């Protein structure tokens, strides 16, 4: 009887004429996240850091999100940048992002600090989460500077759930560290604020040597923090789970030099073994679109005309890899590529 029932289920739900209706596929979605928001407030959170409160222009609820999520923000200039959501996920009336001014950056922070005003509208994509907050018996959070932005909602979530947590918050000085007042209101865990001008430069390895057994460790900040976490935890506590997010490009590993022909531009660029294809292309085409520089947002997606690609991204579907690549992380498998640029 069980076998007969299983056969009947298979015929109806997977093989029969009604299967398309009863068993719809659920592919991973990379589109359909675009919408407009309005800037409701702009506030100074620390020296060189402003926050933007974003709302739906018509007053509707914003899409739900979970701690660790980010938005792709399209600025009026056309620049696309990613910013972590750091408000309360339960409040769907507004989102909050925070941006540190970087004088020698790519121009996105300068545009936000100097040009945007309350009432301006922006196009955003998301929320998407490449830094998911998992359930754990206890947590260690380590944030460096503006790296507090994805960590803050996680700390609040652990506090509300009554799960033991500890936050190490590092920065150059208290005046440059945003959201100190919000962190001071949390009493269910341990907040350690460690500015360099008061305590000196931290030893990253010492931070992780006291990690509670079996904790989930979340790190967002300069690359040495994540590198120290991996080195220490692999030796002292293999039961800990490590989760990292960074705001700088990934270092190129196992790279080899190659040449890119830009078909539409009629030029060629040489890519060094230790640089990304995107960095090399920008020397010739400085206005080319990019955002995350880590292979998951798809902004730098480029058509491949000829050549074999060494795909290193987390975005493209298998059936897209023969004709596209993400230039921020992927490379040539041989010595040459021809791209539709």
Backbone angles phi, psi at 44, to 5 degrees: -85, 120
- For 325, the token pair is 């690549």
Rounded to 5°, angle at Cα 61 from 149 and 33:
70
Helix (H) or strand (E) holding 310, with range, is: strand 309-310
Q: Do the Cβ atoms of 276 and 327 come closer than 8 Å?
A: yes
Q: What is the pLDDT of residues 98-156, one digit of tens each?
A: 999 998 777 889 999 999 999 999 999 889 888 899 999 999 999 999 999 999 999 99
Q: Who contacts 277 (Cβ-Cβ below 8 Å, separation ≥6)?
A: 260, 271, 325, 327, 328, 330, 331, 332, 337
Q: What is the pLDDT of residues 230-289, one digit of tens each?
A: 889 888 888 889 998 876 667 788 899 999 999 999 999 999 999 999 989 988 888 788
Calpha distance 62→49 (Å, rounded): 24
DSSP 312: -
pLDDT of amino acid 247: 62
Nearest to 121 by CA among 86, 76, 83, 81: 76
Q: Do the Cβ atoms of 262 and 339 come closer than 8 Å?
A: yes
DSSP symbols for 244-265: EE-SSPPPP-S---EEEEETTT
b/e 311-334 (16+ beta carbons within 10 angstroms → b): bbbebbeeeeeeebbbbbbbbbee
């Amino acid at each position: 009887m069980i076998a007969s029932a299983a056969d009947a289920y298979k015929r109806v739900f997977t093989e029969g004429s009604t299967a398309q209706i009863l068993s719809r596929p659920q592919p991973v979605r990379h589109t359909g996240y675009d919408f407009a928001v309005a800037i409701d407030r702009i506030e100074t959170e620390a020296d060189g850091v402003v926050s933007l409160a974003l709302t739906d222009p018509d007053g509707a609820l914003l899409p739900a999100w979970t701690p660790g999520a980010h938005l792709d923000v399209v600025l009026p200039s056309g620049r696309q940048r990613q910013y972590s959501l750091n408000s309360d996920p339960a409040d769907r009336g507004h989102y909050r992002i925070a941006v540190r001014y970087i004088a020698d950056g790519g121009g996105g922070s300068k545009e936000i600090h100097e040009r945007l005003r309350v009432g301006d509208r922006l196009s955003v994509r998301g929320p998407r989460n490449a830094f998911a907050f998992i359930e754990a018996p206890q947590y260690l959070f380590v944030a460096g500077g503006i790296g507090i932005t994805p960590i803050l909602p996680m700390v609040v979530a652990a506090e509300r759930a009554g799960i033991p947590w500890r936050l190490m918050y590092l920065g150059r000085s208290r005046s440059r560290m945003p959201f100190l007042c919000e962190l001071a209101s949390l009493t269910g865990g341990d907040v350690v604020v460690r500015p360099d001008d008061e305590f000196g430069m931290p030893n990253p390895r010492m931070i992780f040597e006291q990690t509670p057994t079996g904790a989930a460790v979340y790190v967002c900040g300069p690359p040495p923090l994540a590198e120290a976490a991996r080195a220490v935890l692999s030796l002292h506590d293999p039961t800990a789970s490590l989760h990292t997010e960074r705001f700088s490009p990934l270092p190129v590993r196992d790279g080899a030099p190659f040449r890119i022909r830009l078909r539409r531009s009629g030029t060629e660029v040489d890519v060094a073994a230790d640089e990304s294809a995107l960095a090399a292309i920008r020397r010739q085409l400085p206005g080319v679109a990019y955002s995350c520089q880590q292979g998951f947002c798809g902004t730098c997606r480029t058509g491949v005309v000829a050549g074999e690609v060494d795909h290193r991204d987390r975005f493209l579907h298998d059936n897209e890899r023969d004709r596209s690549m993400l230039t921020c992380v992927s490379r040539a498998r041989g010595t040459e590529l021809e791209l539709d640029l």
